[in-house]
Structure 1
């Protein structure tokens, strides 16, 4: 799933390549991707792209006051092309969901919104104010804007696990499964630690790791071609998606806890005092 660094890099790419261009045509290939009816997508036609930004993990393309807000979900992506084919794509079951021509069709650039797999979660809204998007309206403070004191306030009194708290978008916006694993590893904290019971030194490490991991990932991602962002993300990961490989810090084997539709990874030596977490039901190692 694209998270804060990748979405920030995509927004930067659009600011560099799309700003100042006119939306000549939008082809909606999958009607289910659009979560709004009014304004219609045709109202984007003829508008100039005036900016691009990010709200948590939501991408926001500003077309002269009308916003195309996109959540890429687990398997969605934005693919830029310097020249898009002129004929409108046929509706079907392929990965293409929406195409935006930012120049005369067949002669100008633009982008495709695509989604791999059969489980569809890619969503787009056309709104006059991004706050009209329910997911944006519910967002907590952006992960890169949170100071140490504010982080302590956000976690105070919470009884959920630290991994759960970090990925709750209403609490902290921008972190997903991958970068929360990375932050916890750098902070040397268990995913199962109770968010509201962290001592001051643990909160210090968590804030430093949160800022450092995301800042580094953004700096590596911004300026990359959109097609290379996924590879750049994978190359910078220490524990996430590295089950069975050695931890780059201590050499211990990276372990995994699996759930029905996702999994997280961690290093026992660095994060749980050498004790492996059996699974979400049986492990009693909480700190």
Structure 2
């Protein structure tokens, strides 16, 4: 056995050199990048590949063509986009555009936003259905008189008696939202208390509300018995829109800590209070001043 592990000086030098070479090559393998700095792209092959992908997408669309119905491209979902043949990136661009509160009003704008190919656009654009006010814009109704002044209170129509036919004339409102306003108003016996309650109508943007109030306003407000905030019980507070039992308990707890509220704005400091609804909640509340006996 000893003869197998006894080396001459030259053999030891050879083994040492071999170990050095192995370590050197391992270091080169791990730390040196042998990949090409520039990957050349064959544009002709890439273009051919993209055309093949488009043809497959179009073929898929033709298979389900009988199931496609006219639709508003502003409301394309992930599922709807995939059935139309759009890629995830194209759908994401559309959804990101809509999150900004913007609307697509033409086929050209749809392509600019989503960057779909011309071939796919030609296939799906015949099914686009934009609102009537986009395809056939109606003359804008001005909130001003002929003398250039905004309408006065007396010149405006009563929001509590307005019909769907009257509301639909507001530019950009439409029949669906007009019907929704009337339905929401009629939930309350006597209608709206104030114009600010339009904020509770689903689908109304601040811009549309502004256009409505330029022509309509509450002239015959619903009569209510306002609640004294500093004496109200939980059972009283929960009758108010946007106040549930949890919030009512927190309001009373805050009232006790502060030894009564000095103003209605102090409600915004209550944990979980819907600050954006303060104007509506204030319609139902008041703070009565205490009468001090002399």
* TM-score, L = length of structure 2: 0.24
* TM-score, L = length of structure 1: 0.24
Bigger proportion of residues as helix:
2
Q: Which structure has the larger Rg over C-alpha atoms?
A: 2
Greater relative contact order structure (CA < 8 Å, 6+ sep): 1
